[in-house]
Structure 1
Amino acid sequence: MAQGVAAAAQPAAASSTAVAVPPEIPLVGADAAAVSVPSAANAWGGERTGNEATLSDRVVSYRIDAELDAAKHAINGKQQMTWRNRSDRAVHSVYMHLYLNAFQNERSTFFTERSVLTAHGDSRGRGAVKKGQWGWIELKQVRQSAAPLKWTFVHPDGGPEADQTVVRIDLAEPVPAGGTLTLDIDFLSQLPRVIERTGYFGDFNMVGQWFPKIGVLELPGERGATAPRWNVHEFHFNSEFYADFGSYDVSMTVPSDYTVGAVGEQQGEPVKKDGKTTYRFVQGDVHDFAWVAAKGYQTLDASYVGPGSPKVAVRVIYPPEYLASAQPVLKATLDSLAYFSNTLGAYPYRTVTAVVPPYNADEAGGMEYPTFFTAEGYAKIDSQTADQWEIDFVTIHEFGHGYFYGLLASNEFEEPMLDEGLNEYWDQRMLRERNQRILVPTTWMRRLGMTPTMDVFAMERMSAGLGRPVDPLGQNSWNRLSSSSYGTVYSRTATAMHDLEERLGKEVTERAFREYYKRWHFRHPSVADLRAALIDVSGDAKTVNEVFDQYVFGTAKIDDRISAIDNKEVLPLAGSESKDGKRSEVDADALDKQIAKQRSDWKKAHPDAKPDSGGPFPWRGTVTVVRDGAQVPQLLRVKFADGSSEDVHWNDDRRWARFVFTKPTKIVSAELDPEQKIYLDANKLNDSLTTKPNGAASRRWGADVGALVQAFYAFLVTL
């Protein structure tokens, strides 16, 4: 197969020897990350009102004829792409993604980063590639009108010279400002054995990242741009995608005994000829296209009808061995349609297709495309384990990408928290609304008849790396310490948004996210645009900016703790004093007798008094709190021996504080965040303290500590 890779690279390598035309429009560099300046009001054509001719401002259209060679797992493609130059200047070169080339050898950016990042944390996409299992995309010919074009591989992010995931195509005729470009491209896509997201296993072909795809030309006022620039990054190990909205018209020819599913709506009846069948799928107002072709697969269908949405055809495509998963995936998809439509905005497309990959193709699971996603498969769903929760969560999560990745179309290269993180947060809100807790038994727990459960956001904080965050949430997807740090984009964002919701209020937060969706669906928001929507709706710039400065743009840690509880009885004190010009002295021995008499008299008057219920003298209790991280508004609840309690707010920048209470009885316990609103606190076990041994706090948060649970849910990082 090494010979095949070399041959695939030859046409481009030969053309790259020509004198290249310097790009007149610069490329976004490798340091691009969280945007701090909100986009202009007219960015991406302005907010979509619903009265436009198309749902999105369509920048590009693709017409593709693809034929699958099922034996070789290869696709021969002919593509006609029409692209509109939105800028105010002529374009002499365009840039395209050739994502499949990430899998052609170990010298690509993807594999180079994989060898480093997985040494410092777990991740998906770690499977070994054997001989004959590599994948690539080969440009056979690129034409503008009748003129053949030359191309050169480029490295916007400074990746290895051998990487061929981004290509510059030099045009025979420039595209004028406002003009359109049509390219005819012949290509060959060789699928790899499933490594990550795409590929084959047996007679299963998950066809993703498979066609030449143009990069995004951003204009001033869009995601922090101050001048036109090409946003087209290499395919990194920890990154996903970013593309313009447009339309797709794709015909796929496969063996007639294969089941096909794809982005969009099937057009008419498939055409059969010579043992092959051609399917045609069309979808507008999306920014990617993927499909599946698998032998012997089955389908399960339903429909969704909701306010503001067209009738939505919902289909699950699954292998026979995972029949048990089909109905749960279908139900979770229907439930997701209702929840996301009601909380963010009506689902605008006519189809949703969910694919359950076969056994041994797990790396193709848990992946999203517009109107199309892959789920998880189980031969049996055991109600005494977390199987049901896992299949529900993965389905909800991948459907949810249809909003945060699909309709909002954020830049997953540079701001992954806007998709993976916000989606994770909204998924868990849905599960919380359904009162669906996580079942966390292990084998030994099951033997003892124990089936403990965990709140969904408690699970998120467990894997959020709160004790030592090393990268801001707003950092780009690839410039991170490790794959584990990238994984915290999911859980730490969900936890941060949970805490922000607690501070702003559930109803206010939901209105803010609905406004964010209203403003930015069918456009491309930035982190700054999310922040602006949250501030505009809540009116609380101080809280929103504090959270963004600490966690999105920074690496703050919260760890407030109860340091000490001290109780001291307030007794008469010996000594000398001057009053009205006369000095008197209280004798210590006499005072001791006075105190003893007062105690005796009190006991006689209260013969049934319980210990610590009070006495003749009050108690001065002191609670000391210490702040080992960033400032966050805290509620301190102090309980006394007589059953009473008192709440105090600690909302200042002191690194430590003492709160003093004079009461008839002693302090018996003190707790920070008694209502459990601050999940970003790295150590919840030191939030409370008692004057007597009490294991309640340890039991309450014990599941937060167990490595067995963390391993059990490590799959979340792979979604």
Structure 2
Amino acid sequence: MQPRPILKVLLATAVVAGLAIQSLLYAQGALVVAVPQPTTDTGIPLAAANAAAVTTPSAPNAWGGPRSGNEATLSDRVVNYQIEATLDPVKHTVSGQQKLTWRNRSDQPVRSVYLHLYLNAFQNANSTFHSEIRRSGRGFRSGVETKDGDWGYIELRSVQQNGAKVDWSFVQPDGGPDTDQTVVRLDLPQAVQAGASTTLDIAFFDQLPRVVARTGYFETFHLVGQWFPKIGVLELAGERGATAPRWNVHEFHMESEFYADFGSYDVKLTVPKAFTVGATGQRQGAPVEKDGMLTHHYKQDDVHDFAWTADSRTATPLTGTWTFPGSPEVEIKVLFPPEYAANAAPAMKATKDALNFYSKTLGPYPYQTVTVVIPPHNAQEAGGMEYPTFFTADGIPDLQPDTLGAFGLDFVTIHEFGHGYFYGILANNEFEEPMLDEGLNQFWNTRMTRAERRDLHLAPPWMQRLGLNPVWEFGQVQRLLTPLSFPADALGANAMDRLQGINPVYSRTALAMLDLEKEIGKEALERGFKEYYRLWKFRHPSIADLRETLAETTGQRKTVERVFAQQVYAVSKVDDSIDSLSSEEVLPQPGSHAGKGKRILLSNEAVEKQADEIREKWAKAHPDAKEGSGPFPYHTVVVVKRKGAAVPQTLQVRFADGSSETVKFEGEERWRRFEWTRNSEAVSATLDPEGKHLLDINKLDDSQTLKADRRAQRRWSFDLAALAQTLYTLIATL
């Protein structure tokens, strides 16, 4: 998911909906009391509520071991969903029947399983999701308000195992309010033996919410995500730090996303004939018509989620194909409303470009479809959301080339497609380690924008017509969006409890990884990520698995472990600066001097006179001498200060004769003095001349000139003025 759009995150406000009576569910306009069922001892513990960055690498055979490509299936399929669902687009409801077949990978019987009922985050203001909105004061993204009648929920109408009724009860694994109903425990009549499978027959009913966060409807548009009962993940010893079997199942938090096992989806969606449908996976034949309704049949193997959209206003979809060595031919479809017709072709191009870049730099794309959805106006909160083979982009009105809006559409499309790799194929736990998805994806997006010069044009069209069009490379934009002076949360912190919210996970991870890339080299880092993809595709890697893969593959373990220790497992600001620069002539000094058997007393006046005479004589002999040279050597002193984490730093000093000195500043010292005596005056001193440390709080104090130079100050002033004007323009469009 991308904060939407890129710079609107700066403008997000908190909006809190009213209170609702706890333990009440809305069901087709009536209120139904949910009666908790009897509970039993599950015997298998739950993952800790505060679980975050894993420090111990997973076992080599975790999740069935690396996928070589010679297996019968892409993933070690754990779950199978067969779903039949019918949409009522007037009431915005979905009625569903589901066969859920789950395999017990553990070596012990399982008597209880856990399901996510994510839609219940939107059933009332007492859910964990809404409680956290009130507590944080931030709101979700742009803070769309939930009004009366906008609430949504999911009901379990019946659950059976082999024809026997299954008892169930709501639980709050993270200690959220007891009114939260986003996780349910099923106590099975028959235990699932080690290595065996069981099938649950589930009838469910969705009331979709007005789209305020990730899923829901607006008028005829429906984005149906996290809409079916979805089983949690049973992790085994050696997987993501687990030492024994445990259920990893968290409540739906304001800023958390998802985590699920790989499996197969066979889904039949029945909608009115006038509605265009797009969904995860491949459509199986033509839709089947009956009583004015069409049933669309989709299948997709080796994914861990399924989402879909339906809208009667969708224009004729834009379609295309893409091919690349090692990948199947991919059918691309862009769905869009008529008002955003101009967005379709740019979204198609950005998707193809992203397929090329990710395939070249990480590994082949394994699926045969990509569906891109551009939500209509007033359904923006459905934009910027990812599901396997299916994602939503942004709708930009009055789209103009080389503008902030054009960059936003391009970047969000690339970002959401990129989730297909990091969230989709490298299926990390987004609750506990969001850095592995949002952060690494933002980093890879930034690498792509840099490699292809997809820069951010700050000025609106009217400023460009006046010849004012400052351009920012997107790595610098990440600095703008990142808390540098007080980074409150480690990158490896979970998504649920962050002082500064989830947004720094995106930008600060990108900066940390860009800094790492500059230290170890582009080729080494890309080699490491290709190996990470090869080893961990269709599994569930942890941060420790990423760390170990990069350390081993790049051959630069010390550097990788330092960066992870400073920025991933802890949080350290980087703050090096030039404290002072001086460059003074080495002149004769007053006082008593011994020489040739007698002492000579030189007064201050005599020394100054002698120095002036020597300078005058030298100047006549060197009429073309450069400024900063003369008859006396210059003693140059630079003092560097360190007020943050110790990072390998480079200091470069330039001299008037065109020469330079480059030295290293490494280690834990808080300051260091560097000195040279040369026949030329110093001109400037610069820390980090290659720009390797984007996490540094203030790049302006990384350099000093001996004489005042206001060029950088003027450049930053012009750029910031242009950015301010662009933000004013953006505010006016909200």
Find out whether 1:616 has 2:636 as its counterpart. no
Q: What stretches of structure 1 move > 6 A for 4+ residues in a row?
A: 1-4, 8-12
SS at structure 2 position matched to 1:596: helix
Q: How far apart are 1:567 and its partner, in Å?
A: 2.1
Whole-angstrom distance in 2 between the partners of 1:682 and 1:696: 20
Whole-angstrom distance in 1 between the partners of 2:142 and 2:541: 28
Q: How far apart are 1:435 and its partner, in Å?
A: 1.2
* Aligned residue in 1 for 2:571: 555
For 2:636, give the aligned amino acid: G
Find out whether 1:102 has 2:117 as its counterpart. no
**2:472 pairs with one of 454, 468, 477:** 454
* Aligned residue in 1 for 2:184: 167
* Aligned residue in 2 for 1:265: 282
Whole-angstrom distance in 2 between the partners of 1:348 and 1:567: 61
Q: Do the aligned residues in 1 keep the contact of 2:83 with 2:96 (CA within 8 Å)? A: yes
**1:474 pairs with one of 488, 492, 513:** 492
* Aligned residue in 2 for 1:368: 386
Whole-angstrom distance in 2 between the partners of 1:282 and 1:382: 37
Q: 1:12 to 1:2 in 2, by over 3 A?
A: closer
SS at structure 2 position matched to 1:289: coil
Find out whether 1:540 has 2:556 as its counterpart. yes
Q: Do the aligned residues in 1 keep the contact of 2:332 with 2:371 (CA within 8 Å)? A: yes
Q: How far apart are 1:177 and its partner, in Å?
A: 0.7
Q: 1:530 to 1:710 in 2, by over 3 A?
A: farther
Q: Do the aligned residues in 2 keep the contact of 1:462 with 1:704 (CA within 8 Å)? A: no
Whole-angstrom distance in 2 between the partners of 1:488 and 1:85: 37
SS at structure 2 position matched to 1:542: helix
* Aligned residue in 2 for 1:309: 327
Q: 1:427 to 1:116 in 2, by over 3 A?
A: same
**2:421 pairs with one of 403, 406, 410:** 403
* Aligned residue in 1 for 2:309: 292
* Aligned residue in 2 for 1:626: 641
Whole-angstrom distance in 2 between the partners of 1:42 and 1:703: 55
Whole-angstrom distance in 2 between the partners of 1:235 and 1:478: 9
* Aligned residue in 1 for 2:536: 520
Q: Do the aligned residues in 1 keep the contact of 2:85 with 2:268 (CA within 8 Å)? A: yes
For 2:430, give the aligned amino acid: E
Deviations 1:645-688, CA, capped at 9 Å, x for gaps: 22222122211111112122221211111222211111111111
Q: How far apart are 1:140 and its partner, in Å?
A: 0.3
Whole-angstrom distance in 2 between the partners of 1:149 and 1:11: 20
* Aligned residue in 1 for 2:108: 89
**Where in structure 2 are there 5+ consecutive unaligned residues?**
1-18
Alignment of 1:350-365 (within 5 A): 350-365=368-383
Q: Do the aligned residues in 2 keep the contact of 1:703 with 1:709 (CA within 8 Å)? A: no
* Aligned residue in 1 for 2:11: none
Find out whether 1:636 has 2:651 as its counterpart. yes
* Aligned residue in 1 for 2:131: 112
Whole-angstrom distance in 2 between the partners of 1:712 and 1:151: 50
Q: How far apart are 1:383 and its partner, in Å?
A: 2.2
Q: 1:712 to 1:424 in 2, by over 3 A?
A: farther
Q: Do the aligned residues in 1 keep the contact of 2:282 with 2:299 (CA within 8 Å)? A: yes
Q: Do the aligned residues in 2 keep the contact of 1:239 with 1:477 (CA within 8 Å)? A: yes
Q: How far apart are 1:6 and its partner, in Å?
A: 4.8
Q: How far apart are 1:12 and its partner, in Å?
A: 8.1
Whole-angstrom distance in 1 between the partners of 2:397 and 2:569: 43
Alignment of 1:58-207 (within 5 A): 58-117=77-136, 119=137, 121=138, 123-124=140-141, 126-207=143-224
Find out whether 1:665 has 2:684 as its counterpart. no
Find out whether 1:278 has 2:299 as its counterpart. no
Deviations 1:586-630, CA, capped at 9 Å, x for gaps: 4325544433332232122123445x3322111111111111111
Deviations 1:289-340, CA, capped at 9 Å, x for gaps: 0000110312111111111111111101111111101111111111111111
Deviations 1:545-589, CA, capped at 9 Å, x for gaps: 111111111110011111111122101223346689x66344325
Find out whether 1:13 has 2:34 as its counterpart. yes
SS at structure 2 position matched to 1:44: helix
TM-score by length of 1: 0.95
Q: 1:219 to 1:699 in 2, by over 3 A?
A: farther
**1:40 pairs with one of 56, 59, 70:** 59
Find out whether 1:498 has 2:514 as its counterpart. yes
Whole-angstrom distance in 2 between the partners of 1:445 and 1:98: 49
Whole-angstrom distance in 2 between the partners of 1:710 and 1:626: 36
For 1:615, give the aligned amino acid: G
* Aligned residue in 1 for 2:441: 423
For 2:618, give the aligned amino acid: W
Q: 1:46 to 1:711 in 2, by over 3 A?
A: farther
Q: 1:714 to 1:247 in 2, by over 3 A?
A: farther
Q: Do the aligned residues in 1 keep the contact of 2:457 with 2:471 (CA within 8 Å)? A: yes
Whole-angstrom distance in 2 between the partners of 1:566 and 1:311: 63
For 1:380, give the aligned amino acid: D
Q: Do the aligned residues in 1 keep the contact of 2:590 with 2:602 (CA within 8 Å)? A: yes
Q: How far apart are 1:123 and its partner, in Å?
A: 4.2
Q: 1:305 to 1:510 in 2, by over 3 A?
A: same
For 2:207, give the aligned amino acid: Q
Whole-angstrom distance in 1 between the partners of 2:167 and 2:521: 56
Q: 1:74 to 1:707 in 2, by over 3 A?
A: farther
SS at structure 2 position matched to 1:209: coil
Q: 1:12 to 1:97 in 2, by over 3 A?
A: farther
Q: How far apart are 1:524 and its partner, in Å?
A: 0.2
Q: 1:124 to 1:306 in 2, by over 3 A?
A: same
Whole-angstrom distance in 1 between the partners of 2:710 and 2:247: 58
Q: Do the aligned residues in 2 keep the contact of 1:462 with 1:705 (CA within 8 Å)? A: no
SS at structure 2 position matched to 1:5: strand
Q: Do the aligned residues in 2 keep the contact of 1:565 with 1:624 (CA within 8 Å)? A: yes
TM-score by length of 2: 0.93
Find out whether 1:336 has 2:354 as its counterpart. yes
* Aligned residue in 2 for 1:243: 260
Whole-angstrom distance in 2 between the partners of 1:440 and 1:686: 25
Q: 1:247 to 1:146 in 2, by over 3 A?
A: same
Q: How far apart are 1:709 and its partner, in Å?
A: 5.6
Alignment of 1:645-664 (within 5 A): 645-664=660-679
Q: How far apart are 1:705 and its partner, in Å?
A: 5.8
Q: How far apart are 1:197 and its partner, in Å?
A: 0.8
Q: Do the aligned residues in 2 keep the contact of 1:463 with 1:710 (CA within 8 Å)? A: no
Alignment of 1:522-601 (within 5 A): 522-576=538-592, 584-588=599-603, 590-601=606-617
SS at structure 2 position matched to 1:354: strand
Deviations 1:124-178, CA, capped at 9 Å, x for gaps: 1621111211100000000001111110000110000100000000000101111
Find out whether 1:345 has 2:363 as its counterpart. yes
Q: How far apart are 1:449 and its partner, in Å?
A: 2.8
Q: How far apart are 1:203 and its partner, in Å?
A: 0.6
Q: Do the aligned residues in 2 keep the contact of 1:454 with 1:703 (CA within 8 Å)? A: no
Q: 1:294 to 1:523 in 2, by over 3 A?
A: same
Query: Percentage identity across aligned positions?
Result: 55
Find out whether 1:227 has 2:227 as its counterpart. no
Q: How far apart are 1:713 and its partner, in Å?
A: 12
For 2:569, give the aligned amino acid: F
Q: 1:234 to 1:432 in 2, by over 3 A?
A: same
Deviates more, 1:376-385 or 1:193-202: 376-385
Alignment of 1:19-30 (within 5 A): 20-30=39-49
Q: Do the aligned residues in 2 keep the contact of 1:602 with 1:615 (CA within 8 Å)? A: yes
Whole-angstrom distance in 1 between the partners of 2:133 and 2:67: 39
For 1:45, give the aligned amino acid: G
Deviations 1:232-282, CA, capped at 9 Å, x for gaps: 000000000000000000000000010001000001111001100001100
Q: 1:6 to 1:596 in 2, by over 3 A?
A: closer
Whole-angstrom distance in 1 between the partners of 2:566 and 2:719: 23
* Aligned residue in 1 for 2:273: 256
Q: How far apart are 1:699 and its partner, in Å?
A: 4.0
* Aligned residue in 1 for 2:12: none
**Where in structure 1 are there 5+ consecutive unaligned residues?**
none
